């Protein structure tokens, strides 16, 4: 359920608003235990996503980082290596 919650800090090019919103959506889904809220909770669900995205954007933009920037390609390669180690090669 949390596959889109990723490290968002210190990327080149910088983290996009879409990436922040996707992480916020997954967070709200996780803490509520629902993928799709009921009609009566829809507005509250959306407001929570917007507020978390807003706070996350401020956090990511304000933090001081002294490490070299990450690249999405390097992060993807590391994730694939972890998956290969964890699950082994895909069957043919």
State the pLDDT at residue 17: 96
* CA separation for the pair 19, 47 (Å, rounded): 17
Indicate the pTM of the whole model: 0.81
- Which pLDDT band holds residue 4 (cuts at 50, 70, 90)? low
How do residues 16-70 score in pLDDT, each as one tens digit?
Answer: 999 999 999 999 999 999 999 999 999 999 999 999 999 999 999 999 999 999 9
- Which two tokens mark 37? 């809220």
Q: What are the two backbone dihedrals, phi and then psi, of residue 24, each rounded to the nearest 5 degrees? A: -65, -40
Where do the structural domains in the chain lie, given as residue ranges? 17-87
pLDDT score of 90: 81
How many C-beta atoms lie closer than 10 Å to residue 82's C-beta? 10
């Amino acid at each position: 359920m949390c596959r889109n919650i990723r490290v968002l800090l210190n990327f080149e090019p910088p983290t996009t608003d879409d990436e922040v919103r996707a992480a916020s959506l997954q967070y709200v889904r996780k803490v509520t235990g629902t993928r799709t809220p009921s009609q009566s909770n829809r507005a509250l669900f959306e407001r929570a996503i917007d507020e978390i995205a807003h706070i996350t954007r401020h956090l990511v933009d304000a933090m001081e980082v002294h490490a070299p920037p990450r690249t999405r390609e390097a992060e993807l390669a590391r994730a694939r290596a972890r998956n290969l180690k964890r699950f082994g090669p895909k069957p043919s």
